């Protein structure tokens, strides 16, 4: 019995020992599992509870114009977030929701939305809104302090992309999305290098998950992205944008776009599409026509669909991404190919009878009665379709296609902007295999195929610079945060397309187009301009047209090329010579003056130039009038005195011959103003006379060689009050002889 009891006791002790060994063994295994096998994972979890790791957004690189004017930069901003796990009760949750909705002023963040976002207490971070500015950040900080919401409502550093000139160069620069990633334009194309390296702030937390003092903080500074220095010149860009904006209004067009290029390098000095958009408010539609169209849509889903389509179209850089039918502008390339291959000379003649038969088609000249016998140069001046069809036919398919390809119309230009329209053989242009006599003939005068604006101006620049096809570009160099150059673009010559002598002959012919042909409205006194007009019927929209002008200047030493394209003009005279050439002439004139290219005037031009106002202050009224009359000026006396106290314009001011000088004879009347008259729809002499009769002077701008020029715009608005003697710029153009095919 005693032995049995001892055996039972031994068994019990053994069982307990085994259980203890198993228990300790399991604990040891669990310790090994957590401390060895899962050590890294649980260390990260522990550190995440003990550390706060906050990212510091990096500033994107700055975008500068060619003169280091800031066009896009990152500014300090802030981000508001909430830690729901710290919210005490529903009452505090409501206070937070109501307060933030009021302060953040965002239609997508009403009180109910915020209340729902911060409802789950499992979360330690819920983003409410980023990119808020200093004023709002201060208001939120005050709200936190007033309601004892520290560590519940929090503010972190953030950055906001800012465009100081709103709409300026919008389709080139592009913009970023809410995450500061480039969405369109250069912001998209160079997103990888513009994006900087974020920094970090690592801070310890206490047992209650609250941040500890900065003694436990480690900071890694953010690194700004690489900056871009563009070839775009802010001043020239302004000239182009202003001209295109006015063109849309004057021609009642859907849009207008253009490019100014440095011919020797391919550097783009300006590029614009109108209507444009505000980079700081990219979802805000600016086109009046589009807004009117949207106002007629009642269905919400349809409205949303059309609205989004129009916004994306508004962001589109048409000068790079769209294609159009070039029309008669293309004749300069047919001429270049014909001269280079020797199938024609500048003296080759052709008798235009108003039409030409090609296979089964009769192709008309825009002058149905015909131009008669004309040389190759005259054919270009008059934009004669039959003449240039015959030049194309003389070249034949192989030779014509050789130059079509060499001038770059079958390939991308390689411009450093996104979404360049790619030519597609058989779709946007005729392949050599698919080019029969009809396709060859229509292509020779710029119809039945499409090109992009960037292709066209690059090809024309090749004629202007002596035959070299350059690669166009808008980014001149990349610089780091300290201003050190990390990359610089060198001009790239793709190939020699035509000889220098052929190029000079074509430029000379283009100069005649502006002096005596369809491009007269691009004429500029003192500057030799070479160019070609174009008017083409759109292949994609029945009854709509494209009007264009492309030119280079000065013709004796070309420095710049300018292309203007006006899409779907609604005015009666919708030709390139009538509506695109005046815009190009204005842009060329302003740009050459800005570039300090000195004008060289002919004797005829000198006779029409302004003169300096003589000094008649202090003279008797009678003597002053005599002096002004002798120098071919008019006088207008203000006051009852017998002696001139002051004059306007003052001594040395530039005023036109036949202009008026205001003579003030009493101190009380020296600020006399009058109403600006309507100076449009008049000849030069009529406009000058009407201005003088009203006490104003005019500056003549635009076409002046033609005897039938008419004023169409003035720099000072009709009906406003302006000081007597003010000089008003009046713009002239002609409708005679500017029609092209």
Q: Is the pLDDT of residue 609 over 90?
A: no
**Least reliable range by pLDDT among 23-37, 140-154, 467-481:** 23-37
Distances in Å between the Cα of 126 and the Cα atoms of 79, 119, 153, 216, 519 are: 11, 10, 10, 24, 63
Looking at residue 614, what is its pLDDT?
93
The 3-class SS string of 635-659 reads EEEECCCCECCEEECCCCCEEECCC
What is the mean pLDDT of the segment spanning 284-291?
89
Model confidence, pTM:
0.84
Is 446 within 8 Å of 329 (Cβ atoms)? yes
pLDDT range class, residue 45, cuts 50, 70, 90 = very low
What is the mean pLDDT of the segment spanning 197-201?
73
75 vs 529: which has the higher pLDDT: 529
Looking at residue 430, what is its pLDDT?
96
Q: Angle of helix 90-104 relative to helix 134-146, nearest 10 degrees?
A: 160
pLDDT digits (tens, 9 = 90+) for 537-550: 888 788 899 999 99
Is 252 within 8 Å of 570 (Cβ atoms)? yes
Angle at 525 between CA 676 and CA 527, to 5 degrees: 135
Phi, psi of 133 (to 5 degrees): -90, 175
Looking at residue 203, what is its pLDDT?
65
Rounded Cα distance, 617 and 663, in Å: 8
pLDDT range class, residue 535, cuts 50, 70, 90 = very high
Q: At a CB cut-off of 8 Å and minimum separation 6, what does 567 contact?
A: 253, 254, 255, 256, 257, 318, 324, 546
Is 568 within 8 Å of 259 (Cβ atoms)? no
Q: Is the pLDDT of residue 148 over 60?
A: yes
pLDDT digits (tens, 9 = 90+) for 499-531: 999 999 999 999 999 999 999 999 998 999 999
Looking at residue 495, what is its pLDDT?
97
Is 336 within 8 Å of 414 (Cβ atoms)? no
List, in order of start, the domains of the chain with CATH numbers: 53-230 (3.90.1310.10), 321-600 (3.40.710.10), 610-733 (3.30.10.20)
Distances in Å between the Cα of 297 and the Cα atoms of 277, 303, 304, 312 are: 22, 6, 10, 18
Looking at residue 213, what is its pLDDT?
47
Is 638 within 8 Å of 612 (Cβ atoms)? no
Phi, psi of 135 (to 5 degrees): -60, -45
Q: At a CB cut-off of 8 Å and minimum separation 6, what does 221 contact?
A: 56, 199
Rounded Cα distance, 573 and 445, in Å: 20
Distances in Å between the Cα of 656 and the Cα atoms of 685, 690, 710 are: 11, 13, 17
Pick from 298, 271, 218, 309: nearest CA to 71: 271
DSSP alpha helices (H): ranges in 33-53? 39-50
Angle at 462 between CA 592 and CA 599, to 5 degrees: 20
What is the mean pLDDT of the segment spanning 439-466?
97
Distances in Å between the Cα of 422 and the Cα atoms of 418, 419, 427, 451 are: 11, 9, 11, 9
Rounded Cα distance, 149 and 128, in Å: 15
69 vs 107: which has the higher pLDDT: 69
Put residue 122 in one of left, alpha, beta given phi > 0 → left and psi -120 to 50 → alpha: alpha
pLDDT digits (tens, 9 = 90+) for 617-651: 999 999 999 999 999 899 999 888 999 999 988 89
Phi, psi of 216 (to 5 degrees): -105, 25
How many other C-beta atoms are found inside a 10 Å radius of the C-beta of residue 14? 10
Q: Is the pLDDT of residue 669 over 70?
A: no
Is 247 within 8 Å of 566 (Cβ atoms)? yes
pLDDT digits (tens, 9 = 90+) for 247-276: 999 999 999 999 999 999 999 999 999 999
Q: At a CB cut-off of 8 Å and minimum separation 6, what does 66 contact?
A: 229, 230, 231, 232, 233, 234, 269, 476
589 vs 539: which has the higher pLDDT: 589
Output b/e per residue, 649-663; b: 16+ Cβ within 10 A: beeebebbebbbbbb
- The C-alpha torsion from 292 through 324 and 454 to 599, rounded to 10°, is -80
Phi, psi of 178 (to 5 degrees): -65, -25
Is 449 within 8 Å of 428 (Cβ atoms)? yes
pLDDT digits (tens, 9 = 90+) for 222-256: 788 999 999 999 999 999 999 999 999 999 999 99
Looking at residue 258, what is its pLDDT?
98
Looking at residue 548, what is its pLDDT?
97
What is the mean pLDDT of the segment spanning 140-158?
92
Helix (H) or strand (E) holding 173: helix 170-173
């Amino acid at each position: 019995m005693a032995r049995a009891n001892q055996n039972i006791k031994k068994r019990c002790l053994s069982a307990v020992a085994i259980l203890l060994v198993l228990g300790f063994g399991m604990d040891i295994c669990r310790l090994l599992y957590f401390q060895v096998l899962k050590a890294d994972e649980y260390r990260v979890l522990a550190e995440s509870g003990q550390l706060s790791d906050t990212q510091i957004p990096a500033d994107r690189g700055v975008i500068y114009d060619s003169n280091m004017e800031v066009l896009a930069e990152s500014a300090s901003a802030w981000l508001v977030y909430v830690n729901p796990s710290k919210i005490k009760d529903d009452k505090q949750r409501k206070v937070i929701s109501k307060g933030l909705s009021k302060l953040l002023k965002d239609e997508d963040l009403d009180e109910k939305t915020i209340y729902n976002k911060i409802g789950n207490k499992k979360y330690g971070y819920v983003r409410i809104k980023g990119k808020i500015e200093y004023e709002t950040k201060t208001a939120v900080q005050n709200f936190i302090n007033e309601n004892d919401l520290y560590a519940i409502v929090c503010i972190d550093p953030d950055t906001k992309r800012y465009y100081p000139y709103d709409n300026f160069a919008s389709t080139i620069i592009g913009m970023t999305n809410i995450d500061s990633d480039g969405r369109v334009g250069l912001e998209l194309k160079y997103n990888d290098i513009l994006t900087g390296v974020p920094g970090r702030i690592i801070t310890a937390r206490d047992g209650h998950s609250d941040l500890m003092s900065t003694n436990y903080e480690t900071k890694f500074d953010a690194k700004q992205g690489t900056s871009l220095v563009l070839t775009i010149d802010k001043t020239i860009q302004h000239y182009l944008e202003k001209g295109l904006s006015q063109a849309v209004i004057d021609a009642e067009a859907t849009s207008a776009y253009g490019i100014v290029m440095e011919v020797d390098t391919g550097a783009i000095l300006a590029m614009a599409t109108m209507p444009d958009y505000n980079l700081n408010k990219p979802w805000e539609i600016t086109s009046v026509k589009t807004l009117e169209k949207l106002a007629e849509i009642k269905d919400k889903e349809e409205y949303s669909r059309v609205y989004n389509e129009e916004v994306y179209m508004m962001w589109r850089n048409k000068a790079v991404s769209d294609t159009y039918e070039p029309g008669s502008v293309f004749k300069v390339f047919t001429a270049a190919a014909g001269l280079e291959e020797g199938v024609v000379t500048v003296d080759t003649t052709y008798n235009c009878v108003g039409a030409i038969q090609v296979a089964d088609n009769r192709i008309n000249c825009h002058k149905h009665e015909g131009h008669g016998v004309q040389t190759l140069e005259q054919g270009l001046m008059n934009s004669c379709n039959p003449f240039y069809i015959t030049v194309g036919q003389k070249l034949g398919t192989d030779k014509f296609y050789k130059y079509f390809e060499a001038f770059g119309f079958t390939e991308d230009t390689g411009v450093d902007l996104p979404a360049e329209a790619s030519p597609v053989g058989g779709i946007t242009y005729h392949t050599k295999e698919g080019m029969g006599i009809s396709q060859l003939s229509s292509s020779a005068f710029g119809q039945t195929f499409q090109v992009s604006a960037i292709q066209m101006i690059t090809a024309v620049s090749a004629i202007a610079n002596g035959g070299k096809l350059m690669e166009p570009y808008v980014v001149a160099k990349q610089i780091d945060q300290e201003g050190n150059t990390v990359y610089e673009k060198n001009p790239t010559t793709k190939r020699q397309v035509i000889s220098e002598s052929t190029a000079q002959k074509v430029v000379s012919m283009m100069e005649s187009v502006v002096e005596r042909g369809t491009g007269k409205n691009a004429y500029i006194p003192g500057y030799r301009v070479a160019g070609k007009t174009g008017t083409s019927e759109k292949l994609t929209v029945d009854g709509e047209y494209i009007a264009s002008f492309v030119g280079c200047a000065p013709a004796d030493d070309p420095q710049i090329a300018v292309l203007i394209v006006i899409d779907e003009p609604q005015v009666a005279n919708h030709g390139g010579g009538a509506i695109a050439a005046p815009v190009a002439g204005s842009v060329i004139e302003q740009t050459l003056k800005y570039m300090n290219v000195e004008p060289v005037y002919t004797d005829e031009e000198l006779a029409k130039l302004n003169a300096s106002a003589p000094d008649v202050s202090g003279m008797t009224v009678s003597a002053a009038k005599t002096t002004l009359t002798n120098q071919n000026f008019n006088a207008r006396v203000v006051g009852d005195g017998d002696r001139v106290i002051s004059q306007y314009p003052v001594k040395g001011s530039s005023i036109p011959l036949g202009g008026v000088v205001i003579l003030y004879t009493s101190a009380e009347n020296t600020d006399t103003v009058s109403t600006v008259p309507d100076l449009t729809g008049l000849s030069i002499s009529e406009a000058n006379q009407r201005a003088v009769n009203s006490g104003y002077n005019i500056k003549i701008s635009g076409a002046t060689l033609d005897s039938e020029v008419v004023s169409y715009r003035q720099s000072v608005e009709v009906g406003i009050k302006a000081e007597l003697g003010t000089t008003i710029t009046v713009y002239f153009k002609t409708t005679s002889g500017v029609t092209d095919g």
